[in-house]
Each structure stands twice: as C-alpha cells, then as structure tokens.
Amino acid sequence: MKIITRIKTMQNLTQKLRREGQRIGFVPTMGYLHDGHGSLLKACRRQNDISVLSIFVNPVQFGPQEDLQSYPRDKKNDVLLAKKENVDIIFYPSEKVMYPGRYLTYIHVDEITATLCGASRPGHFRGVATVVGKLLNIIQPHRVYFGQKDAQQCVVIRQMVQDLNIPVRVCVLPTVREKDGLALSSRNAYLTEKERQEAPALYQTLKMAEAEIRRGEQDPRRLTQMMAQFLNSRCPQGNIEYVMCVNAETLEPVKIIQGTVLLALAVRLGKARLIDNVLLRV
Ligand code: AMP
C-alpha cells in the first residue's frame, strides 16, 4: 500500500494506471475510519482493479463556529484499516498542498445546497463540491463511492458530476448502523454515555415515520410534526435542527407523500451534530 501526499505524484500514478487499462475506484473521506467507510472500501475493492482512499479533513467545508480543530483524527488506525480493506493507495494531502497560498476557485452547486444541512451550514456544500471536484481531477477514478448517510452530499455530487461533465460513475452505498440503529459516524466520538443512549432515537424516528407512511399517511406536515414530537420525547437532550420530507432528487419539500421521498433529520446532541435519513419509494 502506497501513501501519497503530493498532487503531481498522485496524478502521474493514476494516469499511468489508466494507460495500462486498470479500472480505478476512489473513496473520499475525512478519516477516523469506521465500518461505514469500510463498506465503501469493500465495494471499491470488489468493483475495481485499483482501490484509492483519500483522507483529508477539508477546512473549506467547516463553518467558523464548527468543529474543524476538534474533528477526530487517527492516522495510525486509519492506515491499519485501509490495509485490512486492501486499499492500494492512500492519498493523504496536507491543507497547504490542497489549498496553497493563492487559492481562489470554488464550486457552487445552486438550489439543492440551500436546504436541509445547507440551510444551517452556509458554505458547507461549496466546500464539499470544491474538494470533491479537486480530488476527482487529481485521482481521475472510473468510479467514486459515497454513503447514503450523507444523502444531500450524494445529490449535490451527482449534480456537479452531471453539470461539469466529469467522467466518473457515482456509486452510493447504504448507511451502515450500530446494532441499535445509530448510523456510524466519526462524530459519534463526541457523544457522552448518556447522549449515546439517546442517539438511536434518530433512526427510531425515521422507522416510525416509515411505518406511518406505509399505513397510509400522506401529509408531510402532519408526519414531520409527529416525528419531531417522537424525537423530542426519546432524545430530550437533543435539539432538532430540521425534520423534513423532501423529493429525493430536487430536495424540495413535498406537498404530498408520493413517489421517491427522502425523510431526513439533523439533531444537535451535546457536542455532536448528528444526521440521518431514509429513502422511501411510496
Ligand atoms: P466522512 O469521512 O464522514 O466525510 O465520510 C466519508 C464517506 O463515508 C462519505 O461518503 C460518507 O457518506 C460515508 N459514510 C460515513 N458514515 C457512513 C455510514 N454510517 N454508512 C455508510 N457510509 C458512510
């Protein structure tokens, strides 16, 4: 397994591999790897000749009041996990390498970045789109892998890839959960024991809502009100940022629950900001 920190080295290597006819798969992450990342790496390994992992805590996607400084990092363990998943190349650039002194270019995806997480994290998806755009140019993979846990991120990246004609296939994999339903996340490390006990309420709320829809509920307002009440009662330490029922493609709130809908929520629980969602075909 190679660990590469320079852009030119990475670009030269993947260009050579492409010329040799190797299929390159790529998993972008911010490190502190868990089994959610593991599932992306397994698919990447299975579906490609070369498996590339990037680890980069991207400062541009963090707001000034957010957790950039405290974001968990563990290079040693990440390298071990990457070896276990048979990663061929880790791209591990520094901030200086990715954003040198005079850096002026950002990617803005319109409309779909203004809602859900984008509403409370202004500039977040500008940072995400920019770094993913840069990484795709550096690594030039045939396939790139994302987790459904970050549903809006998947929609934004698909849009960017389509609009900018980036020659890559975007693959989205299901959310990996703890036994009690909590979606795996590097930020779960922030939870105290008591907060951790309440955290499964996010997924319980989504499952409750799914059951209501299956029973015939079609009114998104009534449903999201019910979800907020349920969530508050099971997670009293949490502060709801949003609970929404949106069109899975446009991310616009639906007027009636029909077709493919995304039920999504975000909750502040202690130092952590947790998100979760389910995608439903009604
Ligand atoms: P991150 O390191 O948090 O930026 O995540 C890197 C990639 O892993 C993103 O595509 C995430 O959506 C994905 N991911 C994070 N947590 C999970 C999870 N629990 N299940 C599946 N994918 C995940």
Q: What is the pLDDT of residues 179-224, one digit of tens each?
A: 999 999 999 999 999 999 999 999 999 999 999 999 999 999 999 9
Here the tokens at position 40 are 């992306």
> How many angstroms separate the CA atoms of 4 and 1, rounded?
10
SS3 142: coil
> How many angstroms separate the CA atoms of 223 and 216, rounded?
11
CB atoms within 10 A of CB 168: 17
Nearest residue to 264 (alpha-carbon basis) of 238, 228, 219: 228
Ligand 1 mean position, distance from CA 281 (Å) = 23
Which sign, positive or negative, has the C-alpha torsion 33, 153, 117, 150? negative
**What residue ranges define each of the domains in the chain, with the CATH number in brackets?**
2-173 (3.40.50.620), 186-281 (3.30.1300.10)
> How many angstroms separate the CA atoms of 164 and 263, rounded?
28
CB 184 within 8 A of CB 261: no
Ligand 1 mean position, distance from CA 203 (Å) = 16
Q: Which mutation among 73, 128, 149, 170 tests ligand 1's pocket best, with the greatest number of atoms within 8 A of CB?
A: 149
DSSP, res 83: H
pLDDT, tens digit only, all 282 positions of the chain:
999 999 999 999 999 999 999 999 999 999 999 999 999 999 999 999 999 999 999 999 999 999 999 999 999 999 999 999 999 999 999 999 999 999 999 999 999 999 999 999 999 999 999 999 999 999 999 999 999 999 999 999 999 999 999 999 999 999 999 999 999 999 999 999 999 999 999 999 999 999 999 999 999 999 999 999 999 999 999 999 999 999 999 999 999 999 999 999 999 999 999 999 999 999
Q: Which mutation among 39, 60, 146, 170 tests ligand 1's pocket best, with the greatest number of atoms within 8 A of CB?
A: 146
pTM of the model: 0.98
